[in-house]
């Protein structure tokens, strides 16, 4: 796995886990916290897709 992809994945894991714990600790329902995390996930998925995509030559 490319280093850039690994770095983005680690950043996503840390941020999303921290955000989930914060929301639940501050009284949000688990279902609401999961929905909030799900809304943030596509941004990281997009970043990984762009980091892993072959670079155009020419």
Measured CA angle at 14 (ends 20, 33), to 5 deg: 10
Domain span at residue 33 reads 3-52
| pLDDT at position 32 | 98
Residue 40's closest CA among 15, 57, 23?
15
Those residues of the chain that have pLDDT short of 50 are none
pTM for this prediction: 0.84
Looking at the structure of the chain, the number of domains it has is 1
Residue 57 belongs to a domain: no
Residue 58 belongs to a domain: no
| pLDDT at position 57 | 80
| pLDDT at position 58 | 66
Residue 19 belongs to a domain: yes
Cβ pair 55, 9 in contact under 8 A: no
């Amino acid at each position: 796995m490319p280093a850039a992809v690994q770095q983005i994945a680690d950043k996503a894991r840390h941020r999303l886990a921290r955000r989930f714990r914060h929301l639940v600790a501050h009284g949000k329902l688990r279902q609401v916290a999961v929905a909030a995390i799900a809304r943030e996930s596509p941004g990281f998925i997009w970043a990984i897709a762009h980091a892993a995509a072959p670079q155009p030559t020419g």
